[in-house]
Amino acid sequence: MENNICCQKSSEKDDGAYLHQINEQNGRNFNKANSLLSQAECAVLKMSEPMPCNAVPVHGYDFNVNLNDYSELFNSFATTGFQAKSFSDSVIQINKMLEEKKSIPDFEDPSLSEFEFPNFFRPKTGCTIFLAYTSNMVSSGLREVIRFLVEHNMASIAFHFLNFNQRKLILQLFINCHFQVDCLVTSAGGIEEDLIKCLAPTYLGDYRLDGAQLRQKGFNRIGNLLIPNRNYCLFEDWLMPILDKLVEEQTTQNVSWTPHKLIYRLGLEINCSQSIYYWAAKNKIPVFCPGITDGSLGDMLYFHSIHRSPLKLDIVEDVRLINDMAVKSIKTGMIILGAGLIKHHVCNANLMRNGANYSVFVNTAQEYDGSDAGALPDEAVSWGKIRSDAKPVKLFCDATIAFPLLVSQTFLQHHQQARAKNLSG
């Protein structure tokens, strides 16, 4: 009996110790859980530092408000974020170029107030704007947008025959009427596609059309665009007699041809108001094409050279002209649609003046492969192609979407304001 009582007491004592141990363990677990919860709360509910006084809240367009002017929608992009913000920054950059263009430099030496080219002179303004674009831009409907910028531009003026005061007066009239680009840079396709469209149209197609079937039918695909091969046959029929004349002038008159002189001549020969290069020739806007043989133009030059002595094109003269244009500018702005050769050619010209003052790049290329196409603007700053104090913008967007909208908020606005001012007296 006593043994049973002792065993019972011992058991109760053990149970008490066990319960005490359990309670201690639970307490430790509770404290540990509280500690983990506290850590989680600290991580999730970390206090922020105060935002700077100039911080801008994100806010998109409120369509509950009547949309009276699409400018209101585009203005809201400044606070929308992502590429909408880059679009807004691009508008700011281009408008700064155009505002700078309005300023009339005072030159002690009047000869410094113009750019001299073999076929023409072009007055300087406060900002020289370089527009560069790849061939697919001209294949698309952007051709008409680019043509607008070239069409409404400096008309032919015998500027170099005027004295300083006359030059200044003419330049003031020019500033009040025209706010567009000063120089074009493109690839061979960017030349030929424009000229070919004067002969026959390009058509809408589809990205998924079968390549073998298209080849059999004689259709060439550019994305979701189609160009009948017949268009290139028409181009050859039109171009070959012109090349004959150029070779004859090269031989009999000792004319030294360059890509930009060739493009100028083709613009005169096409004589079509739908053409970019018709207006470039008419309005004395230089067009540079560093890869002139890389396209149908190169094919035609090749075929033509088989039948007679070849046309010679001096690329060194052209690179000197575009570099001199950059060096002798007061300020410069670059607008580059697409990338690759055309982008680098303009940027490298601006290296000669320690960088462009304003820059807008519109493309979708990424920087991870080290390509020039994908490089962010800050990489160009490291090379001296964009000024260190500049605020360049890269807009990651299909240029066929972005550029018409950019023009509507920049060049078109200035053009319409100038027209209204001139009409009002």
- Backbone phi, psi, residue 421, to 5°: -65, -40
Q: Quick one: 79-191+267-294+313-423 is in which CATH superfamily? A: Deoxyhypusine synthase (3.40.910.10)
State residue 36's pLDDT score. 81
State residue 307's pLDDT score. 87
State residue 37's pLDDT score. 84
Active-site entry in 385, 391, 394, 421: 385
Report in angstroms the alpha-carbon separations of 4 from 8, 14, 226: 6, 15, 103
As a whole number of angstroms, the distance between CA 208 and CA 71 comes to: 36
- Backbone phi, psi, residue 329, to 5°: -80, 150
Domain extents in the chain: 79-191+267-294+313-423
As a whole number of angstroms, the distance between CA 421 and CA 222 comes to: 42
As a whole number of angstroms, the distance between CA 336 and CA 118 comes to: 25
Report in angstroms the alpha-carbon separations of 196 from 9, 46, 224, 239: 109, 63, 18, 10
Give 203's strand partners.
226
Q: Is 385 a catalytic residue?
A: yes
As a whole number of angstroms, the distance between CA 186 and CA 287 comes to: 8
State residue 27's pLDDT score. 60
- Which residue stretches of the chain have pLDDT < 50? 5, 155-158, 160-161
As a whole number of angstroms, the distance between CA 110 and CA 391 comes to: 32
What's the first-to-final CA gap in the chain, in angstroms? Answer: 127
